[in-house]
Amino acid sequence: MKIVIGNDHTGVEMKNAIVKYLIDHKYEVINLGTDSNAAVDYPDLGQAVGARVIQEKDTFGIVICGTGIGISMAANKVKGVRAALCAETILAKLAREHNNANVLALGARVIANQNAIWIVETFLNTSFDANRHGFRVDKLNTL
């Protein structure tokens, strides 16, 4: 499975921890984020990750900024993206099961790196329950 990850300057450390986890677990990782602490604009990164997720089949995205709020808003501007800001594993589980989220948003200033890894693990290992929630996601996709 391919994971596209993007982060602003506040998320470099978290991104690096997540990328290590993903590579250790045999995921293909595409890094669209910054590796520097110099300020960059999260809207550009959220949009870039969202666009890549939509272009490439069987691809998930992870976006990281200080709170996860701004970058998730940016990613959700891309038609077909369902970015979910998750601060706990239960949110990641439900975002996948109920909403078929295809992008996970995380806040580097509000989530410890180890918790972020657990959230990523939950997100990637949870399947969408299309039988129960498919018609609602279809409605989302028409908005």
Query: Rounded to an integer, what distance in angstroms lies between the CA atom of residue 93 and that of residue 128?
Result: 9
d(CA 17, CA 54): 25
31 by Cβ neighbours in 10 Å (0-12 / 13-18 / 19+) ranks as middle
Nearest to 45 by CA among 114, 103, 110, 122: 103
The H-or-E segment that residue 65 falls in is: strand 59-65
Q: Which of 9, 25, 86, 98 is catalytic?
A: 98
Among this protein's residues, is 86 annotated catalytic?
Answer: no
At position 91, the amino acid (one-letter code) is L
Q: 103-107 and 59-65: which strand pairing? A: parallel
- For 78, the 3-state DSSP assignment is coil
Of 9, 25, 65, 133, which residue is the catalytic one?
Answer: 65
Residue matched to tokens 């989302």: 140
Please identify every residue annotated as catalytic.
65, 98
